[in-house]
Amino acid sequence: MAGILDGLGQFGLGNLEGASIFEQPKTAEKDAEGNAVEVEKEEDFLFDKKYECPVCGTQVTARTVRAGKVKLVGTDIDLRPKYQQVDVLKYDAICCNKCGYAALSRYFPHCTDKQAKMVKEQISISYKPVQQSTDLYSYDEALDRHKLALVGSIVKKGQASERAYICLKSAWLLRGKRESLDPSSPDYAKETKELQDQEDQFLLNALEGFKTAIQSEGFPMAGMDDTTVSYLIAALATECHQTDVASKMIAQILTSSSANARIKDKARDLKDILMQELKKK
C-alpha cells in the first residue's frame, strides 16, 4: 500500500516519504496527585548543528544539546556536571567523518593551516569513515569521538590544557557509563571495575596535563580561571591519591584573596574529604 508521501523521491526527498505527518504525543507519567506529567526524552533536548571542518572544508553535522533546556542537578568533586534529563557530555566532541579531524566543540573551529597539514598527513591519509549515529549518541560512541579528539590534539600539537580537558571529559563519560550499568547484570562487577580502571587512567592524565599547563599557559584555560583550575587540580590529585599536591593547591585557594566564597567552600569540602582519606591510611 502506497504511502501518502510516496513520489517525493523525484524531488530528491525520498528520505522523507515515510515521515510522520503528526508528532507522536510524549509519554506521560503521573505525579503524586495522579495528574498526567509530560516526560521529555533525551532526543527532545537535541538538535543538529552544522560546522565547517577547518581541515577539509566539509560541512559537519553534529547532535547538540539545546542551551538552557537541561536542568543541572549537581556536580562531582572534580566539577563533572550532572543533568537531570541527558548527559550533556556525550555531545561535546565533534568529528569530521571525511578527514577524521575531531575536537571538543570549543576547539573544533580553531585549527591553523600548519595544524591542518599535520592532521591530513597523520590522520586523514589513513582514516576510515565509520557509520555515525544521527539521533542519540551512546557512551561508547561518545568515548570514540573523544579518543579521536585526543589523538587530533596530539597530532596538531595542541596545548596541554586541551589534551587534559579531553582526558577529563573522557573520564566523566566513563563514570557516566559506569553509573548507567544495570546492577543485576551478571557482568556488573567486572564491567564496573574495568570502567573504573579506565576512568582512573584518564583522571591521572588530566591531572598531569593541567599541572603542565599551569606552568606554560595563560588564563582562561579551557574556559576556566586560575582559581577554578587550581581547585580542579586539587580535586584530581585527591582522586589520584597525590595528597601532597592536593594539600598544596587547597591551601593556595583558601589563602587566596581573589578566590570567591563559593570556590573556597568547595575547597573546604575537598579538604574534609582529603583528611578522611588520610585517616584511612
In 10 A of CB 33, how many CB atoms?
Answer: 6
In terms of domains, do 132 and 257 share one? no
**Mean pLDDT, rounded, for 37-51:** 83
Residue 13 confidence class, pLDDT cut points 50, 70, 90 = low
Structural domains in the chain (count): 2
Same domain? 99 vs 125 = yes
Q: What is the mean pLDDT of residues 17-30?
A: 52
- pLDDT of 31 over the 60 cut: no
- 210 with 260, same domain? no
Q: Establish if 24 belongs to a structural domain.
A: no
Instruction: Compute CA distances 279 → 233, 252, 265, 274, 275, whole Å.
Output: 21, 22, 21, 9, 6
Domain extent, residue 161, equals 45-181+189-222
Phi, psi (rounded to 5 degrees) for 94: -105, 135
What would the pLDDT profile of 111-168 be if each residue is shown by its tens digit?
999 999 999 999 999 999 887 777 889 999 999 999 999 999 999 999 999 999 999 9
Residue 196 and residue 241 share a domain: no
Name residue 128's beta-bridge partners: none
Q: Does pLDDT of 25 surpass 50? A: no
Residue 269 covered by a domain: yes
Q: Are residues 133 and 252 in the same domain?
A: no
Report the pLDDT value the prediction gives residue 22, as an integer from 0 to 100. Answer: 43
Q: Are residues 203 and 266 in the same domain?
A: no
- 1 occurs within a structural domain: no
CB-CB neighbours of 200 under 10 Å: 15
DSSP codes, 134-169: SSPPPHHHHHHHHHHHHHHHHHTT--HHHHHHHHHH
Taking the C-alpha atoms of residue 181 and residue 191, their distance in angstroms, rounded to an integer, is 8
Query: Is position 2 within any domain?
Result: no
Q: pLDDT-derived band of residue 85, with 50, 70 and 90 as boundaries?
A: confident
Q: Are 72 and 202 in a shared domain?
A: yes
User: Is pLDDT of 174 > 50?
Assistant: yes
Q: Are residues 230 and 167 in the same domain?
A: no
Query: Cβ of 20: how many Cβ atoms within 10 Å?
Result: 7
Q: Is residue 141, in this structure, part of any structural domain at all?
A: yes
The pLDDT, as a whole number, for residue 17 is: 60
Q: How far apart are CA 60 and CA 132, in angstroms?
A: 12
pTM here? 0.84
Residue 165 in domain: yes
Question: In sequence order, what E strands does the chain have?
Answer: 28-30, 36-38, 46-52, 59-65, 72-75, 81-83, 93-95, 102-104
Q: Is residue 171 part of a domain?
A: yes
195 and 122 in a common domain = yes
231 and 275 together in one domain: yes
Regarding whether 152 and 86 lie in a shared domain, the answer is yes
112 plus 205 within the same structural domain: yes
Lowest mean pLDDT among 26-30, 53-57, 155-159, 191-195: 26-30
pLDDT for residue 15 is more than 70: no
Nearest CA-CA partner of 90 in 169, 147, 15, 23: 169
